[in-house]
């Protein structure tokens, strides 16, 4: 499969280039960066710290989508509507790992999914997606007598909070309780907050150092506490999952999918 990477100069972009060139079922079709980036004009493989890939980094996402069967996007939320539109226009499958998406980005993804397969997930790792399934099941089993707290920590450069994965875990817990996350979420505690409301799903966010991603879901009940967690040892787990998702799209009809669909969970 011919796969393009938009935002190839970032940490995840470089990891994606390495994963694609190492995968026998994939070929790097194109690589892009924002206009004015020092990466423009360089070989994408060399930029990623390996042998030349024969693909020159450009600032032309339209050409990248036209050249690829699938495109992987780990960029910024504001770029997602453009990329979703280009995917639909050129018939390219789209894999989105960008977090911090809002209603405008979700609407653009829904529109693109009418024409092409789109896999969108806040976290592409197998372990995290298994964790989401476990959290939903435990939340359903234990009920509101157990308070739920989601604790997450990422590197100091991460700009959105809670993380997309933290929110995904919150949605899984809310689904287990049969409620929407918006009505159950407890965020931004500070000062005199009063007694914790029953049935709430709390978030605690930490940022610092070079932590790739730590997530723990705490179920705190009368006399006992259950904790389910995941620690990411490197970003390669996200890149590998994204490439796997792109290859999976080859045989899929248009639609919006998640990693649970890709992994058959």
Structure tokens given for 16: 């994606």
Outline which parts of the chain fall under CATH 3.30.360.10: 126-231
For residue 16, which of 85, 68, 60 has the smallest C-alpha distance?
68
Please state which CATH number belongs to domain 126-231: 3.30.360.10
pLDDT score of 188: 80
Task: Order across the sheet with 147-154: list the strands.
Answer: 185-186, 201-207, 147-154, 214-221, 224-231
Position 94 scores a pLDDT of: 98
155 is catalytic: no
Is 192 annotated as catalytic? no
Dist. CA 223–CA 188, nearest whole Å: 27
Exactly one of 158, 215, 230, 244 is catalytic; which is it? Answer: 158
pLDDT tens digits, the chain, 265 residues: what are they?
999 999 999 999 999 999 999 999 999 999 999 999 999 999 999 999 999 999 999 999 999 999 999 999 999 999 999 999 999 999 999 999 998 899 999 999 999 999 999 999 988 898 898 999 999 999 999 988 999 999 999 999 998 899 989 999 999 999 999 999 999 999 888 888 889 989 999 999 999 999 999 999 999 999 999 999 999 998 889 999 999 999 999 989 999 999 989 988 7
pTM above threshold 0.85: no
Boundaries of CATH 3.40.50.720 in the chain?
A: 2-124+235-263
Give residue 204's pLDDT: 94
Catalytic residue among 90, 154, 215, 230: 154
CATH superfamily of 2-124+235-263: NAD(P)-binding Rossmann-like Domain (3.40.50.720)
Partnered with residue 154 across adjacent β-strands are 207
């Amino acid at each position: 499969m011919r796969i393009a990477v938009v935002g190839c100069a970032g940490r995840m972009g470089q990891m994606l280039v390495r994963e694609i060139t190492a995968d026998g079922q994939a070929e790097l079709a194109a690589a892009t960066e924002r206009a004015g980036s020092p990466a423009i004009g360089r070989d994408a493989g060399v930029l990623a710290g390996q042998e030349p890939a024969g693909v020159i980094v450009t600032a032309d996402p339209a050409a990248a989508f036209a050249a690829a069967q699938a495109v992987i996007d780990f960029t910024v939320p504001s770029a997602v509507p453009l990329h979703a539109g280009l995917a639909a226009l050129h018939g390219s499958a789209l894999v989105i790992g960008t977090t911090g998406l809002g209603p405008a980005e979700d609407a653009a993804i829904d529109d693109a999914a009418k024409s092409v397969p789109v896999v969108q997930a806040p976290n592409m790792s197998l372990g995290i997606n298994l964790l989401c399934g476990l959290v939903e099941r435990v939340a359903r089993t234990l009920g509101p007598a157990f308070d739920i707290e989601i604790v997450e920590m990422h590197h100091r450069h991460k700009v959105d909070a809670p993380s997309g994965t933290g929110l995904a875990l919150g949605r899984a817990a809310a689904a287990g309780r049969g409620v929407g996350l918006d009505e159950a979420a407890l965020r931004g505690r500070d000062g005199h907050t009063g007694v914790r409301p029953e049935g709430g799903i709390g978030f605690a966010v930490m940022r610092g150092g070079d932590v790739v991603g730590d997530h723990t879901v705490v179920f705190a009940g009368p006399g006992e506490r259950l904790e389910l967690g995941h620690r990411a040892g490197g970003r390669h787990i996200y890149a590998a999952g994204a490439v796997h998702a792109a290859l999976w799209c080859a045989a899929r009809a248009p639609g919006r999918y998640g990693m649970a669909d890709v992994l058959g969970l």
